Amino acid sequence: MTTFWLLAPIMVIAALGLLFARKAVHAALALAVVMISLAILYAAQGAPFLFAVQIIVYTGAIMMLFLFVLMLVGVESSEAVRETISGQRLFATVIGLVFGITLVLAVGQTVTGVVVGLGAANENGNPYGLAELLFGKYVLAFEFTSALLITAALGAMVLAHKERLTPRHTQADLAARRMREYAETGRHPGPAPTPGVFARHNAVDTPALLPDGTPLEESISPSIVERGQVRSGFDDDIDTVVDQLATDEQRDSDGFGGEK
């Protein structure tokens, strides 16, 4: 009983924490408190096996899963205080109170009869007793929980797992392909030269020059080529710059955003 009176307020407060915690992580921790306390109550009520399972499965696995997902979706996310659905909180509270009070008064306070206790049932040990039931009376349900677990696994796979649709390319694959292309189409296997190499400018629109001085078109981004903005390496650059400045002035005087 002491255990109970010690734990009960803690559990209720923790449960309320679930209601009021702004951050999801805090809620998760509150829940963990409740779960662990429950485990202790189980133990106190003659269910040592469940005590273990509660700790292992619930607190250990399920809570961890929750936390994983919380991390995944962003641990910092917190709810706005404002309730979006009008009346939701009010009604929830009222109905909750009605429901809770009704049941507590009608059911919680009227459990009658002698508490038989588990002495006899746990005669051969709690796990044994459970096993007897699990593999006897409830064997079918037990078996079909496997269907549940398979479904869960399958579900997680379906919803969360992205199967690779194409085989991953290894470095060897890529190298082989590059050489093959070179052989077939003559495409250069190496990296393309960067613009401006050997040229007088190293701007991106200035093609690199081959050793013989001819410009190398491939060195420029295709989009620039497309737009026809490739600068020829042989023009008189100074004149071009002067011209450009003049044009700029002209444009400024025409006003902002004038046509080119």
Partner 1 sequence: MNEYITLSLILFTIGAVGVLVRRNAIVVFMCIELMLNATNLAFVSFSRQHGNLDGQVAAFFVMVVAAAEVVVGLSIIVSIYRTRRSTSVDDASLLKS
Partner 2 sequence: MKTLITATDLPPIKAPEIEYALLGPLFIIAGAAVLGVIIEAFWPRATRFWTQVVVAVVGIIAALADTVWVYTDLDKVDADLVARGKVAAEGALSVDGPGVFTWGILLVFGLLSMLLFAERRLEGGMSAFTGRAADAPGSASEAEAIKLRVEHTEVFPLALFALVGMMLFATSNDLLTMFVALEVLSLPLYLLCGLARRRRLLSQEAALKYFLLGAFSSVFFLYGIALAYGYAGSFELSAIDTAVSNRSGSENMLLASIALIAVGLLFKIGAAPFHTWTPDVYQGAPTPVTAFMAAGTKAAAFIALLRVFFVAFGGSQWDWRPMIVAIAIITMFLGAVVSISQTDVKRMLAYSSIAHAGFLLVGFVGAYAGVAGSDRVTSVSSTLFYLTVYGISSIGAFAIVTLVRDSGGETTHLSKWAGLGKKSPWLAGAFALFMLSFAGIPLTGGFIGKWGVFSAAYSGGFWWLVVIGVLVSALAAYFYVRVIVLMFFTDPVGDGPTVAVPSLLTTVVIIIAALGTVGLGIIPGPVLDLAQHAGAFVR
Partner 3 sequence: MFDLQWLLIAIPLASGALLLIWGKEADRFGHLIGTAASAASFLFGVVLFAALLGKDAEARSQSTSLFTWIDTGTFHVEMGFTFDQLSGLFVLLITGVGTLIHVYSIGYMEHDPRRRRFFAYLNIFVAAMVTLVLASDYLVLFLGWEGVGLASYLLIGFWQHKPSAAAAAKKAFVVNRVGDIGMALAIMLMFAQFGTSAIHAVNAAAPGAGDGVATALGLLLLLGACGKSAQVPLQSWLLDAMEGPTPVSALIHAATMVTAGVYLVVRSGGVFDSSEAARTAVMIVGLVTLLAGAWIGCAKDDIKKALAGSTMSQIGYMMLAAGLGPAGYPFAIFHLITHGFFKANMFLGAGSVMHGMNDDVDMRHYGALRKAMPITFATFALGYLAIIGFPGFSGFWSKDKIIETAFGENLWVGLGALLGAGVTAFYMTRLMMMTFFGDKRWKDDVHPHESPKVMTYPLIALGALSLLGGLLLVGDWIVEWLEPVVGEGEHHELAIPAIALTGIITLVAASGVALGYFTYGTKPIAAETPADSSVSVFTRAGRHELYGNQINDAVVVRPTTHLTRFLVWLDGKGIDGFVTGLADRLGETSQFLRKPQTGFVRSYALTMFGGVAILVLCLLAVTLA
Q: Are 35 and 85 in contact (CB under 8 A)?
A: no
CB of 12 to partner 1, least distance (A): 6
Site string for partner 2, 32-71 (x = CB under 8 A): --------------x-x-----------------------
Bridge pairing between strands 215-216 and 208-209:
antiparallel
Kindly report the number of other CB atoms within 10 A of residue 124's CB atom: 10
Query: Using the rule CB under 8 A, which residue among 96, 125, 189, 213 binds partner 3?
Result: 96
Binding of partner 1 at residue 49 (CB under 8 A)? yes
DSSP 194: P
Query: Using the rule CB under 8 A, which residue among 3, 78, 102, 214 binds partner 3?
Result: 102
CB of 122 to partner 1, least distance (A): 8
Measured in whole angstroms, how far is the alpha carbon of residue 164 from the centre of its chain? Answer: 19
Q: Which does 181 bind (CB under 5 to 8 A by kind): partner 3, partner 2, partner 1, none?
A: none
Write out the binding residues for partner 2, residues 109-168 only, by CB under 8 A.
110-113, 122-128, 131-132, 135-141, 144-145, 147-148, 150-152, 154-155, 157-163, 165-166
Binding of partner 3 at residue 91 (CB under 8 A)? yes
* Binding-site size, partner 2 (CB under 8 A): 43
- Report the distance separating Cα 152 and Cα 195, nearest Å: 55
Q: Are 11 and 17 in contact (CB under 8 A)?
A: no
Binding of partner 3 at residue 73 (CB under 8 A)? no
- Report the distance separating Cα 98 and Cα 192, nearest Å: 76
Q: Are 46 and 88 in contact (CB under 8 A)?
A: no
